[in-house]
Chains A and B, each alone.
Chain A
Amino acid sequence: MDITPLPEITHQSLRIRRPLPLDCGVVLDGVTIAYRTYGTLNAARSNAVLVCHALTGDQYVAETHPLTGKPGWWNRLVGSGLPLDTERYFVICANVLGGCMGSTGPRSPRDDSHAEPWGIDFPPITIQDMVRAQKMLIDELRIERLFAVIGGSMGGMQVLAWAALYPDAVFAALPIATAAYHSAQNIAFHEVGRQAILGDPDFREGRYWEQGVIPAQGLAVARMTAHITYLSEAALSRKFGRRIQGGSDVGGALFGERFAVESYLEHQGSSFVRRFDANSYLSITRAMDFFDLAADYGGSLAAAFRNTRTRFLLVSFSSDWLFPTAESRAIAHALNQVAANISFVEIVSDKGHDAFLLDEPDFSRTVAGFLAGSAVAAGI
């Protein structure tokens, strides 16, 4: 298995002129945010849509990835004539703070005078920190109000944080397959992944680059564990069942035959370690674990959205057990408490949490219709 990290390339990015104060108290200077845009900003600067990516996603939402060569992760949703129509909207997607695709994160130099990367010493960040960094990017692009902010999973957490932190800067919010806090079960799965990374001998206390190695085994196991949570029993049965696929050269007779699902997971793990930084994975999973929007508002999620004029579309997927429909419904009820304008649907799918990234015609139609209706209301 080839685990050579993919070469580092230069990403389109912007250096934020203002310092970024983090929730942990540290102030970051010279933050860089890597981002991509699609479509054209109109004269009134009113048609911008911010796409927030999930845990292991990045800014290459609607184009071939320059490193992996894979199609954009939401190229079913973003593009000409698609629900996020780039003929109509100016779509922005930024790599999150803490990421490893060009934005400031554990792999970035500590500051201008120290070329050494932050590594494991990168300050703990929160979902809200990510959103504040995005807001600075939006300010730099001289966009006062986003027509819409959309994202799934961790991207959905960012959408919720956007609506809470900057209600006047968000006309429409689309939190997809997400929750207003990270559940104990989800934290538990993250912790299994983190322990795999921390226990890898090549982790070298987070300073693996000094020896020219990466904790590939640990990161791959983390990815494999997480990947199971993105699927569903039905989807795994449909795709793999108990099919046998080839043998393994390790373990002799015990692993003489391998299940197809094993090979699939191994492939997911090995391709992931080539593109993702282990310290970034630790940093971002921690940010998700810390997320509890209501806690910032005295334990009341409704208080986070008091007086909101943002229009919301909540979408969940019936077989998603990582961010089940009940979590979206809880957000809907909090929004009801402040009489917010909300649409809420559960899309029937057997594809689990991953459904938000896959071909789900009802989901596409729902997003397209909601955005079109919101565009009428926004006058764009």
Chain B
Amino acid sequence: MAKVPGVRYVAKNMRVDLELIASMVAPGTRVLDIGCGDGALIEHLFRTKGCDARGIEIDMAVVTRAVAHGLPVMQGDADTDLSHYPDHAFDYVILSRTLQAVERPREVLRQMLRIGTRAIVSFPNFGHWSLRWQLLVTGRMPMTKTWARMWYETPNIHPCTIRDFFVLCQAEGYTVEQWLAADEAGHRAPWRRWPMLANLFGEQGLFLLRRSSGEEPPH
């Protein structure tokens, strides 16, 4: 996959797509990272952008590691724990490569845009040509580096394509402020204007969403 010049490499323990996400976040803002893992992104946002960044992570061992590293992370479940937060508690709510693994993706997105002014969502794109090709040729569920588990044991129970996500955003009335497709390593790919091509060649989709004006709940 062609690499776009100008993409910066980051600390080796931070996934490159997290750097793409970080580039969408304004400095000094309040951020909630859902499925934050070891907290690499919240640490990055705190150190480089002075954000008040916090995390939720479902895996207790990973949470313990993050907290022991001094990061504000709580053990919790995106499907059940977002409803406790008040409206507009955050400027950004981030869901990085987790949407496909939650039980109710639409509800999680609604909660994200209730508690946050903006949502940043990244997910592996099930519309990528290699997946389509495998399904067409072998007639079996595709297996790739991203989709690496058998269908009966994958945690990724809600795969979607970049086009699917556009359709959902429209149905839910979300404004897509920014979007891009990237390869597995998180390098930005040049299909910015053509969702159909992005859906074919992008290994993951990254979206910056806002509630459409008029749907803003009262402060």
A-B CB contact pairs (8 Å), 22 listed: A311-B72, A333-B81, A333-B84, A337-B84, A337-B85, A338-B86, A339-B86, A341-B54, A341-B72, A342-B54, A343-B73, A345-B60, A345-B63, A345-B64, A348-B60, A362-B68, A365-B64, A366-B64, A372-B70, A373-B69, A374-B70, A376-B70
Establish whether residues A332 and B60, one from each chain, have CB atoms under 8 Å apart when the complex forms: no
Indicate whether B71 reaches chain A with its CB closer than 8 angstroms: yes
**Minimum distance in angstroms from B77 CB to a CB of chain A:** 10
Indicate whether A149 reaches chain B with its CB closer than 8 angstroms: no
Establish whether residues B68 and A366, one from each chain, have CB atoms under 8 Å apart when the complex forms: yes
Establish whether residues A313 and B67, one from each chain, have CB atoms under 8 Å apart when the complex forms: yes
In the bound complex, CA of A179 to CA of B211 (Å): 37
Indicate whether A344 reaches chain B with its CB closer than 8 angstroms: yes
In the bound complex, CA of A370 to CA of B54 (Å): 13
Q: How large is the interface on A (under 10, 10 to 19, 20 to 34, 35 or more residues)?
A: 20 to 34
Known contacts A332-B74, A372-B70; A362/B64 CB under 8 A: yes
In the bound complex, CA of A130 to CA of B184 (Å): 56
> Of B63, B68, B75, B84, which one neighbours A368 at CB under 8 angstroms?
B68
Indicate whether A347 reaches chain B with its CB closer than 8 angstroms: yes
The 4 closest A-B pairs by CB, nearest first: A373-B70, A369-B68, A339-B89, A344-B74
In the bound complex, CA of A271 to CA of B60 (Å): 38
Q: Which residue of B lies closest to A362 (CB)?
A: B64
In the bound complex, CA of A370 to CA of B39 (Å): 13
> Of A336, A369, A376, which one neighbours B85 at CB under 8 angstroms?
A336
Interface readout for A351-380 with B: 1 if CB under 8 Å, 0 if not?
Answer: 000000000001001101110111010000
In the bound complex, CA of A343 to CA of B60 (Å): 12
Indicate whether A346 reaches chain B with its CB closer than 8 angstroms: yes
In the bound complex, CA of A372 to CA of B54 (Å): 16
Interface readout for B145-187 with A: 1 if CB under 8 Å, 0 if not?
Answer: 0000000000000000000000000000000000000000000
Establish whether residues B84 and A344, one from each chain, have CB atoms under 8 Å apart when the complex forms: no
In the bound complex, CA of A285 to CA of B73 (Å): 33
Residues of B within 8 A of A344 (CB): 63, 74-76
Establish whether residues A373 and B75, one from each chain, have CB atoms under 8 Å apart when the complex forms: no
Establish whether residues B74 and A343, one from each chain, have CB atoms under 8 Å apart when the complex forms: yes
In the bound complex, CA of A366 to CA of B61 (Å): 11
Residues of B within 8 A of A365 (CB): 64, 68
Residues of A within 8 A of B84 (CB): 333, 336-337
Interface of B is mostly: mixed
> Of B60, B70, B85, B89, which one neighbours A370 at CB under 8 angstroms?
B70
Indicate whether B107 reaches chain A with its CB closer than 8 angstroms: no
Residues B47-75 near A (CB distance < 8 A):
52, 54, 60, 63-64, 67-75
Q: Which residue of A lies closest to B84 (CB)?
A: A336
**Minimum distance in angstroms from A375 CB to a CB of chain B:** 9
Known contacts A341-B54, A347-B64, A348-B60; A332/B76 CB under 8 A: yes
Which of B60, B73, B85 has the most chain A CB atoms closer than 10 A to its own CB?
A: B60
In the bound complex, CA of A312 to CA of B68 (Å): 14
Not counting A345-B74, A369-B70, a sample of 18 additional A-B residue pairs whose C-beta atoms are within 8 angstroms of each other reads A314-B74, A336-B81, A341-B54, A341-B72, A342-B72, A343-B71, A343-B72, A345-B75, A347-B64, A365-B64, A365-B68, A366-B67, A366-B68, A369-B67, A369-B71, A370-B70, A373-B72, A376-B70
In the bound complex, CA of A336 to CA of B78 (Å): 13
In the bound complex, CA of A34 to CA of B183 (Å): 64
In the bound complex, CA of A362 to CA of B67 (Å): 10
**Minimum distance in angstroms from B187 CB to a CB of chain A:** 32
**Minimum distance in angstroms from A334 CB to a CB of chain B:** 8
Establish whether residues A346 and B75, one from each chain, have CB atoms under 8 Å apart when the complex forms: yes
Known contacts A337-B84, A365-B68; A342/B60 CB under 8 A: no
Residues of B within 8 A of A370 (CB): 67-68, 70
Establish whether residues B74 and A339, one from each chain, have CB atoms under 8 Å apart when the complex forms: no
Establish whether residues A346 and B70, one from each chain, have CB atoms under 8 Å apart when the complex forms: no
> Of A336, A346, A348, A373, which one neighbours B71 at CB under 8 angstroms?
A373
Residues of A within 8 A of B90 (CB): 339
Residues of B within 8 A of A338 (CB): 86
Which of A313, A343, A369 has the most chain B CB atoms closer than 10 A to its own CB?
A: A343
Residues of A within 8 A of B54 (CB): 341-342
Establish whether residues B85 and A339, one from each chain, have CB atoms under 8 Å apart when the complex forms: yes
Q: Which residue of A lies closest to B70 (CB)?
A: A373
Residues of B within 8 A of A339 (CB): 85-86, 89-90
Q: Which residue of A lies closest to B47 (CB)?
A: A376
In the bound complex, CA of A346 to CA of B60 (Å): 7
In the bound complex, CA of A78 to CA of B178 (Å): 50
**Minimum distance in angstroms from B212 CB to a CB of chain A:** 24
**Minimum distance in angstroms from A285 CB to a CB of chain B:** 31
**Minimum distance in angstroms from A373 CB to a CB of chain B:** 3
**Minimum distance in angstroms from A93 CB to a CB of chain B:** 24
